[in-house]
Amino acid sequence: MPDAAQPSQTVLLHRALYMQQAIKEAAETFADFASFAITRQGPHYAVAIADIDAEADGDVVAEFCNFALFNTMQKKRRKVQAVA
């Protein structure tokens, strides 16, 4: 993953692993620290992350990715529980 100190980055999140709604919710959560644009790019969601707050504690990009994955896991778990 690129250095979070850069003013903008693009991350590719595989659509087999990440849910678009979960990524959108993570972007909303992190809106105070950066701006996000989500598009489809082949088998991935491409997330352009810009205006990254250089004064934010931690790695905003890595934390965003973790949050998007956690959101996806929660949503998929709820789907499984609803079926059971």
Quick: pLDDT tens for 18-64.
999 999 999 999 999 999 999 999 999 999 999 999 898 889 999 99
Mean pLDDT over residues 3-28, rounded? Answer: 89
Residue 2 belongs to some domain of the structure: no
In a domain, 69, yes or no: yes
CATH code of the domain containing 14: 3.30.70
Domain interval for residue 54: 8-83
Whether residue 57 is contained in a domain is answered as: yes
Q: Is the pTM of this model over 0.75?
A: yes
Q: How many CB atoms lie within 10 A of CB 66?
A: 12
Flag whether 3 is in a domain.
Answer: no
Q: Is residue 59 part of a domain?
A: yes
pLDDT band at 1 (very low <50, low <70, confident <90, very high): very low
Bridge partners of 49, per DSSP, are 9, 36
Gyration radius (Cα) of the chain, Å: 13
Rounded Cα distance, 75 and 73, in Å? 5
Total number of domains in the chain: 1
Q: How far is CA 26 from CA 9, 76, 81, 82, in A?
A: 16, 15, 22, 23
56 inside domain:
yes
